[in-house]
Structure 1
Amino acid sequence: MVTEELKAHQELIQKVIDTLGADIEAACKLITDTINSGNKVLTAGNGGSAADAQHIAAELSGRFVKDRKALPGIALTVDTSALTAIANDYGYNHVFARQVEALARPGDLFIGISTSGNSQGILNAFEAATVIGCKTLGLSGRDGGKMNGLCHLNIVIPSDVTARIQEMHILIGHILCKAVDDLF
């Protein structure tokens, strides 16, 4: 079982190398342009994707590999008072969009993560970010879902297996953080 899992990961990473390099480079440019212009990065996802969103934000505000100044990375998944109040008053599908409306400014970057590309709360947040004038980056899987039409760039992992998609999302998150580290 262990060998099979590792081989499945290895096969998918080769597909990502072969097909998504240009998209990942474009994503690196999105995040570095955002940081260089003094703007912030907001992230969101559900479940395991929430953990990935928090991980990316933490690498920005803390550090990834090298010591550098703290950078504005905000995970919209961590404020339980906001999440529960918004869910109670507006419905769960609005928990991220309302926070985007409150915190985002033109030129910021919103990174939405959804393995299916169809999580309604993430889709609503992309719509809110677009209205504000944010850049938008999606990390999805399968066929990209509805996120394809809502993001400036949607990196679609070519797999239907949630675990494999999530593994690639966190790898891409680390690549984004490396690109940011390289600025300093």
Structure 2
Amino acid sequence: MSTTPLDAEIGSAIRRSAAVLQAMAEDAGCRAAIAGMVEASVAALRAGGQLLFCGNGGSAADAQHWAGELVSRFMYDRPGLAAIALTTDSSILTAIGNDYGYERVFARQVEALGRQGDVLFAISTSGRSPNILAALRAARAKGMATLGFTGAAGGEMPPLCDHCLRVPATVTPLIQEGHAVAGHTICALIERQLFPREA
């Protein structure tokens, strides 16, 4: 069966994404980061804490997506979990941006809503987003666990994170695709750890 140029490009794109996911599956560091994130999240939720999520652009969509999976449900029905996306309230975001600057839009919310023992999920494909770095520093100051999602380069995020997932890719969409799979895996494992059920 002959393929068209468009068909060949589609197949190539899927294979590139699959190669990144395969590299993640084989990378002990990636697996350990994900496991650490699950353990930190489960510990916080069991202690009555909450999970805060932040990111810009596509990473903001990830933040909202994962918070939604936890508050509502992922694989099966169970009680809702305390998860908040810091990307959704336009009045808060614009007030902070206007009064303090865009660099503070997440840090200010962490200072207001975060508590010792809570968890911050911070997502930046470059690892250099100023507002993400500021949020991580604010979370550290509050005694929160800091979990980072970034790309192979890592940027400035790794030293600010208790666990940092560095997807083995340098192209933004491929990094985001790795984040999406990791995020779903984390949501599924949190759900299963807190509310186990028979298969």
The equivalent residue for 1:129 is 139
**Structure 2 unpaired stretches of 5+:** 1-8
Taking the aligned partners of 1:174 and 1:14, their CA distance within structure 2 comes to 16
Taking the aligned partners of 1:31 and 1:176, their CA distance within structure 2 comes to 9
* TM-score, normalisation: structure 1: 0.98
RMSD: 0.8
Taking the aligned partners of 2:38 and 2:154, their CA distance within structure 1 comes to 19
Tell me which of 90, 104, 107 is aligned to 1:97.
107
Tell me which of 9, 14, 19 is aligned to 2:17.
9
* TM-score, normalisation: structure 2: 0.91
**Structure 1 unpaired stretches of 5+:** none
Taking the aligned partners of 2:174 and 2:45, their CA distance within structure 1 comes to 29
Q: Which amino acid aligns with 2:125?
A: T
Taking the aligned partners of 1:68 and 1:136, their CA distance within structure 2 comes to 26
1:49 aligns with 2:86: no
Taking the aligned partners of 2:23 and 2:41, their CA distance within structure 1 comes to 23
Q: Structure 1 residue runs of 4+, over 2 Å off?
A: none
Decide which moves more: 163-172 or 18-27.
18-27
1:175 aligns with 2:175: no
Q: How does 1:57-76 map to 2 (within 5 A)?
A: 57-76=67-86
**Larger-Rg structure:** 2
Note if contact 1:31-1:176 (Cα within 8 Å) is conserved in structure 2.
no
Q: Which amino acid aligns with 1:6?
A: I
Spell out, residue by residue over 1:9-39, the C-alpha distance to the aligned partner (whole angstroms, 9 max, x if none).
1111111011121221111111111111111
Size of the aligned set, in residue pairs, is 184
The equivalent residue for 1:162 is 172
